[in-house]
């Protein structure tokens, strides 16, 4: 971890961060990264020389625990700790609120990208890039020259083109990540093994118009090869895999098991964490051979299932082709899996919305109250605010009502893409 002083820049190359993701009220960097500090800002770079984090150091920065993050999909996200009195951890399960530049379903209303201080930080990154690009290399240590050359090669156009390639490899942008990916700070390698949606629900704002279809194993192998080349030296900073897109659990046992095993081996994921979406039907169809095979491949496996409601009329109104009986059956299967497999955790999603019938909220409460007491130690439920809902503060009150009565931990589902 060599450190250098270059003019007014403090440069540290390949700094060792934490070896596991930790939930904390202050920023903790995972993996290996490089850093440039100025008087006002701290800039972190991945091992490809791409900007990853920006944190303000001046008195005008909102809080020393807040920062900007650039995702692999080339989105900027501001990590907010909320206002005084806001206990974000109680409704997100994390100490921060990710605020992306794109529209999402957040209940908390704060737009950091309208804040001049935040925009100044992004401007400071542009200025730093210009300074590094123009800096005379004569007299610089070789490690600094190599590091600065990496940064120079990653101008805005290059980073944008790499993000386009990233989405092209997947076949489409991952319009939403499973909520459980919060456990790894949404840092996942995406591998598409199935396209389209099984249900095409009427309420959904992230659905795919395609008919549901599994990919071929050859296609999956090509994605693995291309993603490995794209991540390059930064691959060692990842330990999590997102098997996409909206219902990977239904892609078929052979494909799912082969894709997971080959990706873990090719990417050399240490203590791999796997995330995937499932539907009520694919969860009910998942047999012991599939679950046991996945449990042997992953150190931890998270399956997230959209159940939405336990009220048949609500399911009809949101155009989800299920009835309350199947939702209850899938919920019981979720509890069964969480009980039988030590390293598999299934979570479920339900809707929040001011236009939903009171019977919907009551049906969800009754279902969550029916869970056994041990359920509080394994699994979770996520309440997803409908995008078109207007009374956001009222939704937060409803959320806390459900959370208080639920036997399972309950959190707000914040849509994030990749």
Q: Where are the domains of the chain?
A: 3-155, 171-412
Give yes or no for residue 369 having a pLDDT over 90: yes
Q: Which CATH number fits domain 171-412: 1.20.58.1610, 3.40.50.9100, 3.20.20.70, 1.20.58.220?
A: 3.20.20.70
pLDDT over threshold 70, residue 207: no
Under the banding of pLDDT at 50, 70 and 90, the label for residue 43 is very high
Output the pLDDT for position 201. Answer: 60
What's residue 132's pLDDT?
95
Q: What's the confidence (pLDDT) of residue 394?
A: 75
Mean pLDDT, residues 324-343 taken together: 97
Task: Give the pLDDT of residue 39.
Answer: 95
pLDDT of residue 294: 97
**pTM as predicted:** 0.95
- Asked if pLDDT for residue 368 goes beyond 70, the answer is yes
pLDDT digits (tens, 9 = 90+) for 132-164: 999 988 889 999 999 999 999 999 999 999 999
Does the pLDDT at position 204 exceed 60? no
pLDDT, tens digit, 9 for 90 and up, residues 161-198? 999 999 999 998 888 999 999 999 999 999 999 988 87
pLDDT tier, 203 (very low <50, low <70, confident <90, very high otherwise) = low
- Please give the pLDDT value at position 234: 96
Query: What residues have CB less than 8 Å from 104, skipping those under 6 apart?
Result: 414, 415, 416
Instruction: Give per-residue pLDDT as tens, 225-263.
Output: 999 999 999 999 999 999 988 899 999 999 999 999 999
pLDDT in tens, 53-95: 999 999 999 999 999 999 999 999 999 987 645 688 888 999 9
CA 149 to chain centre: 30
The mean pLDDT value for 316-336 works out to 94
Instruction: Report, as an integer, the average pLDDT of 202-222.
Output: 79
Tell me the three-class secondary structure of the chain, residue by residue: CCEEEECCEEEEEEEECECCCCCCCCCCCECEEEEEECCCEEEEECCCCCEEEEEECCCCCCCCCCEEEECCCCCEEEEECCCCCCCHHHHHCCCCEEEECCCCCCCCCCCHHHCHHHHHHHHHHHHHHHHHHHCCCCCCCHHHHHHHHHHHCCCHHHHHHHHHHHHHHHCCCCCCCCHHHHHHCCCCEEEECEECECCCCCCCCCCCCCECEECCHHHHHHHHHHHHHHHHHHHHHCCEEEEECCCHHHCCHHHHHHHHHHHHHHCCCCCCEEEEEECHHHHHHCCHHHHHHHHHHCCEEEEEEEEECCCHHHHHHCCCCCCHHHHHHHHHHHHHHHHHCCCEEEEEEEEECCCCCHHHHHHHHHHHHCCCHHHHHCCEEEEEECCCCCCHHHHHHHHHHHHHHCCCCEEECCCCCC
Can you give the pLDDT at residue 185?
95
Each residue's pLDDT tens digit, 352-363: 887 788 899 999
pLDDT tens-digit readout, 372-394: 999 999 999 999 887 555 566 67
Residue 225: what pLDDT? 98
CB 99 within 8 A of CB 80: yes
Predicted pLDDT at 356: 86
Residue 26 — pLDDT band, cuts 50, 70, 90? confident
Q: At 105, is the pLDDT very low, low, confident or very high (cuts 50, 70, 90)?
A: confident
- Average model confidence (pLDDT) across the chain: 92
Range in 193-197, 292-296, 406-410 with the lowest mean pLDDT: 193-197
Separation CA 234–CA 41 (nearest Å): 23
Percent pLDDT > 70 in the chain is 95
What confidence score (pLDDT) does residue 2 get? Answer: 86
| Percent of the residues in the chain that have a pLDDT greater than 90, as a whole number | 75
pLDDT at 413 over 80: yes
- What pLDDT, on a 0 to 100 scale, did the predictor assign at position 210? 74
């Amino acid at each position: 971890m060599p450190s250098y002083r270059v003019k007014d820049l403090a440069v540290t190359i390949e700094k060792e961060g934490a070896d596991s993701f930790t939930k904390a009220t202050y920023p903790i960097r995972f993996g290996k990264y490089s850093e440039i500090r100025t008087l006002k800002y701290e800039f972190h770079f991945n091992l490809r020389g791409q900007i990853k984090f920006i944190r303000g150091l001046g008195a005008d920065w909102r809080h020393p625990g807040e920062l900007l993050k650039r995702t692999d999909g080339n989105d900027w996200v501001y990590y907010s700790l909320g206002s005084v009195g806001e206990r974000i951890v109680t409704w997100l399960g994390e100490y921060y609120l990710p605020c992306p530049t794109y529209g999402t379903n957040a209940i908390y209303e704060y737009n950091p990208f309208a804040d001049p201080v935040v925009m100044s930080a992004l401007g400071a990154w542009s200025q730093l890039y210009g300074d590094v690009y123009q800096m005379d290399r004569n007299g610089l240590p070789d490690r600094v020259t190599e590091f600065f050359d990496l940064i120079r090669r990653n101008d805005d156009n290059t980073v944008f083109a790499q993000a386009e390639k990233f989405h092209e490899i997947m076949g489409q942008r991952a319009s939403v990540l499973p909520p459980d990916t919060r456990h790894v700070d949404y840092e996942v390698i995406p591998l598409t093994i199935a396209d389209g949606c099984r249900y095409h629900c009427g309420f959904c704002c992230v659905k795919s118009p395609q008919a549901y279809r599994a990919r071929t194993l050859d296609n999956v192998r090509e994605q693995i090869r291309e993603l490995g080349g794209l991540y390059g030296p930064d691959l060692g900073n990842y330990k999590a895999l997102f098997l996409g897109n909206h219902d990977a659990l239904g892609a078929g046992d052979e494909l799912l098991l082969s894709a997971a095993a080959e990706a873990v081996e090719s990417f050399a994921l240490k203590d791999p964490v796997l995330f995937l979406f499932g539907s009520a039907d694919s969860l009910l169809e998942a047999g012991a051979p599939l679950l046991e095979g996945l449990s042997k491949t992953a150190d931890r496996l998270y399956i997230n299932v959209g159940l939405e409601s336990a009220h048949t009329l609500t399911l009809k109104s949101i155009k989800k082709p299920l009835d309350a009986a199947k939702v209850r059956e899938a919920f019981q299967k979720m509890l069964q899996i969480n009980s039988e497999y030590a390293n598999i955790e299934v979570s479920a999603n339900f809707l929040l919305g001011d236009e939903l019938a009171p019977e919907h909220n009551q049906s969800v409460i009754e279902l969550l109250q029916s869970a056994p007491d041990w359920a509080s130690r394994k699994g979770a439920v996520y309440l997803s605010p409908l995008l078109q809902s207007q009374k956001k503060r009222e939704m937060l009150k409803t959320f806390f009502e459900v959370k208080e009565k639920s036997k399972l931990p309950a959190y707000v589902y914040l849509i994030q893409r990749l």
